[in-house]
Structure 1
Amino acid sequence: MSRKLKELAALAGAGLLGVLAMSGFGGREAGAQFLDNLFPQEAPPPVRREVPPSREIAQYSYAPIVRKAAPAVVNVYVQRRVQTFSSPFANDPFFRQFFGDAFGQPSERVQSSLGSGVIVSPDGIVVTNTHVIRGRGETEIRVALSDKREFDAKVLSQDDKTDIALLKIENGDQRFPTLDLEDSDTLEVGDMVLAIGNPFGVGQTVTSGIVSALARSEIGSSDSQVFIQTDAAINPGNSGGALVDMSGKLVGINTMIFSQSGGSQGIGFAIPSNLVRLYVQGAADGRKVERPWLGARLESVTRDTAEALGLDRIAGAVVARVSDAGPAARAGLRAGDVVVNVDGFEVGDARAVQYRLTTRGIGSTVKVGVIRKGEPQTVELTLVAAPEPGRDDVRNLAGQHPLDGARVSNILPGIADEFGLDEADGVVVVSVRRASAAARLGFQPGDVIVEINRKKVGSVNDLDMLLGARQRAWLVAVRRGDKVFNLQVPG
């Protein structure tokens, strides 16, 4: 039956149904049955069932992604030889000054730890976490690939602030599988991700989850740390492993978990691949990664500052101080400005600003969005490295005094930016050697030495001279944050 004839029959049938219903001959049901008999319906074509051509179509599977990514994820085994003493007091320099080793002889033992890493270049450069390989004593590092091959490795670089370390596999001329780095700024909350690593030393393991949050900065210990949060299961031993997206590319290096039990509770954190890329490129070019010098002190917006400045959101970073002739001053930033975005990316706090500037790199020009007196403005900031300190600006301290093992510096503009200090008199502790007298006394990077035995410290030279005289007792005034405390130590 043609389409036109079907339409005419349908119209006629509708009228006939009405007539039958009105005349009482069986009502509408009888009329409908009459039409079905007169114009039978055509049967639908049968459904053709076929065998799926591949496993991927038959079932949703991460297997293709894992096959692509897993060969480049390695297990990192670290062994350290450390010396120990049988006496609990034998490690104390004061005790040993009088008694020597009479109450305890040194012995050597081996400490072992494990983690994960990711091969990012065919010649065997491996990205991992600094805390995986860090420790005292002579260190031996081996990496094990997913195909059970093992190689020795050496440390190329390590950065405590970002917790990024680079290793080099000592292999000769072999070529290794690699993972490509994805632009971590393309991630969105809700994206699927896989975590690949060596949890608890059981061997390579894959877990799945989603991106739970981006630009988490509240949980880091450094102003350069911003994290991707995921609910993919991350456990001890996963540190340094890969967080990959659904294209099998590296979007982050798994670093830490938030846990009260020591196991995964669905809150894991990874270093974004855009920060990792800087260190990988630096290793390839044979240069050290430098953080941009802003020439200004930033403070995260709090509820109180948001109310005082009339902001509608508790987000951003307030410019608390601008150094004369620094990059911020040249760009036109002013004290009281609130930085709200960098190159269009919103920033939640001062750490997020530093992260954005760091990932842009030295030599770049960025557009910084600020709120100034309630009005949005944009300034262009050229990123430069901090001025190099002179030979007399930095010193490693050693001797019979409380600061033995500390590296100190005059408070230069770049140092002030790095540690969030006001440019004032004093000497700042830049780093502290492990197990040194300064470490045992609790000195930390960022501490400002204000006085020694009630004499003011204005420079590194002043400090060196004051520490050179033997004392029966030391009184050290230290400024940490907004507080000043006095430390008294026997001479």
Structure 2
Amino acid sequence: MRNETKSKTKRGGLIAGALAAGVAGLAFSGGVVTNTVPVFAQPVQIEAPAQNFGFADVVEKVSPAVVSVRVTQDISPTVSSGRDMASPFDNLPEDHPLRRFFDMPGQNGMPDGMRPRRQPRQAMGQGSGFFISDDGYLVTNNHVVGDGSKYTVVMDDGTEYDARLIGTDKRTDLALLKVDSDDSKFTYVEFGDDDAVRIGDWVVAVGNPFGLGGSVTAGIVSARGRDIGAGPYDDFLQIDAAVNRGNSGGPAFGLDGKVIGVNTAIFSPSGGNVGIAFAIPASVAKDVIASLREDGNVERGWLGVQIAAVTEDIAEAVGLSDDKGAIVTLPDNETPASKAGIATGDVITAVDGQTVDGPRELARKIGNYKPNTEVDITVWRDGEAEDISVQLGNLASLDEASSAEESSNRKVPVNPSSLSGYGLTLVPSEDGKGVVVTDVEPDSSAADKGVEAGDVIVTVNGKDVSDQKDVEAAIKDASKNGRKAALFQLKNGDQNRFVALPIDKG
């Protein structure tokens, strides 16, 4: 019994010793004591700022510079009778049997035979804006001023001024108004540095939501560089401050009281605030407004190409190491690009040595240059980089109307043939330029890439094709050069695009 107790005590001593060693960070190995304290990754630790601040100081300073903008628009005239719209019978011939029903004596209190007159009507729109100078220049959105015929600026204290339109820029949705008042000096704000703004920074929006002028909301910057499909220069700040209809054209302030963005759009299934709003960055607005103030318009450089993103497949097909740049799907006729020799299938990778990540960045870089500026465009062509000097045109002179002919009525010749391994049925085009896709197998790689019946294969890996043999030969050459995919240039109507299809090794 004594021995058993002794044994238990000994075991207990070993356990206690082991625990003590673990606590002390010591271990025993061959009689040598070593320090083996385990090292663990530390969790994120941030010293929280004091939460005793508010936005009142900022709002008090900036609010006098923010205004409501009322816009009067002339709209199409309507019939001034009891009918709200013109009747489809208004243009009936005088001897038409139905005419008597619409020319009844005394109709609407009018003398016999007198038709209802059409009266011009006016509609009223509203938005927000803010002064950028003490002599009355103020910023708002292009879509706020619209086709306005009269502009009224309502101050924070209710004072009203007439304003005139200096200029607009549809591509960035900005507009500049001017209040002429010899007796007043206006409180104004300045643009800040949106490049220094970080996701999570506070933002204060002041504006005229739903006609409630002088409304203030606060939130944070949720994201940068948002593309919302508004145009080629999309680069919006996303904010979660409550922004609603009527806030358009109003400022989004940082806590230093400087404008970091111009509120321009919201994402909302309901039409009201859901916490997703978009603001034009101050860096963009500042340059555009400066141009409008100088001469009433914005001049941008123009390259004259249709472009698309470089996907991973396209990069592999043309031999690029990464999927960056913008592939030229079609250089427009008689444009700076076509005159300089930029061709379909070229991948634009840099402008004046500055790397181009994608189509939007290329559009912004080119737009930042003045017309007639000489720039070096770096293109990837035939497996190597090449610099091409281009004198940019003026985007304002671009005629956006397309003169391309529709090809939807193209007649398809007989005897279609199948392109083995791709699920495509092809026929030569009627004009001998390209090969027409007449059918696409649903489960094929071509279908996965969006190839459709009616598409015309114009080139394969930069080589013109006029029949299936040309297509097969181009694919074979790409395979010999170690390519894993072949680059198909497809045209449908006036749309041109590139699709990389994996090369069938069978």
- Paired amino acid for 2:199: V
Matched, 1:143 2:153: yes
Give 1:96's aligned residue. 91
**2:238 matched residue in structure 1:** 229
Instruction: Give yes or no for contact 1:143–1:151 (8 Å, CA) kept in 2.
Output: yes
- SS at 1:283 equivalent: helix
Judge conservation of contact 1:318–1:337 (CA < 8 Å) in 2: yes
Note if contact 2:78-2:86 (Cα within 8 Å) is conserved in structure 1.
no
Distance (Å, rounded) in 1 between the aligned partners of 2:329 and 2:51: 59
Please say if 1:267 is aligned against 2:276. yes
Q: Which stretch of structure 1 is more off in the superposition, 97-106 or 264-273?
A: 97-106
Is residue 320 from structure 1 mapped to residue 329 from structure 2 by the alignment? yes
Q: Is it true that 1:243 corresponds to 2:236 in the alignment?
A: no
Q: Does 1:84 align with 2:78?
A: yes
Deviations 1:368-402 (A, max 9, x none): 666556767777766442596xxxxxxxxxxxxxx
Distance 1:134 1:260, change over 3 A: same
Structure 2 distance, partners of 1:369, 1:267, is 38
Structure 1 regions of 5+ residues with no counterpart? 1-55, 389-413, 427-478, 484-491
Q: Distance in 2 between matches of 1:312 and 1:188?
A: 31
Question: 2:433 maps to which residue?
Answer: none
In the alignment, which of 153, 162, 179 is matched to residue 189 of structure 2? Answer: 179
What are the ranges of 5 or more consecutive residues in structure 2 without an aligned counterpart?
1-48, 104-114, 407-491, 497-506
Alpha carbons 1:278, 1:289 under 8 Å: kept: no
- Answer whether contact 1:132 1:239 (CA < 8 A) is retained: yes
- Residue identity in the other structure for 2:56: A
Local SS of the residue matching 1:96: coil
Letter in 1 for 2:217: T
1:115-163 Cα offsets, whole Å, 9 max, x none, are 1012122221121112212247xx3321112233221112222333332
CA distance in 2 between partners of 1:109 and 1:223 (Å): 35
Could you list the per-position Cα deviations for residues 266-319 of structure 1 after superposition, in whole angstroms to 9, with x for gaps in the alignment? 211112223322332223322521221113332234565455446676654212
Q: Sequence identity, in percent?
A: 36
Distance 1:387 1:147 in 2: 40
Q: Does 1:116 align with 2:128?
A: yes
Contact persistence 1:226–1:355 (CA under 8 A): no
Q: CA deviation at 1:341?
A: 5.9
- Residues 1:70 and 2:82 are matched in the alignment: no
Letter in 2 for 1:128: T
Which of 195, 218, 238 is residue 208 of structure 1 equivalent to? 218
- Give the counterpart letter for 1:162 in structure 2: T
For residue 148 of structure 1, give the secondary structure of its aligned residue in structure 2: coil
Q: Which residue of 2 aligns with 1:462?
A: none
C-alpha displacement at 1:114, in angstroms?
A: 1.6
Q: Counterpart of 2:144 in 1: which secondary structure?
A: helix
**Contact 1:278/1:359, CA 8 A, preserved across alignment:** no
**Change in 2 beyond 3 A, CA 1:63/1:108:** same
1:190 aligns with 2:200: yes
Tell whether the 8 Å contact from 1:370 to 1:376 is kept in structure 2 after alignment. Answer: yes
Q: Give the 5 Å matches for 1:125-140.
A: 125-135=137-147, 139-140=149-150
What SS is found at the alignment partner of 1:156? strand
Quickly say closer, same or farther: Cα 1:154–1:324, change in 2 above 3 A. Answer: closer
Partner of 2:360: 351
Distance 1:183 1:368 in 2: 29
Give the equivalent residue in structure 2 for 1:336: 345
Equivalences for residues 401-412 of structure 1 within 5 A: none
Q: Contact conserved, 2:166 with 2:296, CA < 8 A, in 1?
A: no
Amino acid at match of 2:213: G
Q: Does 1:286 align with 2:266?
A: no
Residues 129 and 251, structure 2, Cα contact 8 Å, conserved in 1: yes
In the alignment, which residue of structure 1 is the partner of 2:455? none
Tell me, in whole angstroms, the C-alpha distance in 1 between the residues paired with 2:191 and 2:197: 13
Match of 1:28 in 2: none
d(CA) in 2 for partners of 1:387, 1:108 = 32
Partner of residue 175, structure 2: 165
What displacement does 1:112 show?
Answer: 2.4
- What is the Cα-based RMSD across aligned positions, in Å? 3.9
Structure 1 match to 2:165:
155
Closer, same or farther in 2 for the Cα pair 1:76/1:203, shift >3 Å?
Answer: same
| Partners of 1:317 and 1:108 in 2: CA distance | 49
Compute the TM-score of the two structures, normalised by the length of structure 2. 0.57
Cα distance change, pair 287–151 in 1 and its aligned pair in 2 (3 A): closer
Cα gap change, 1:320 to 1:121, in 2 (>3 Å): same
What residue number does 1:59 align with?
A: 52
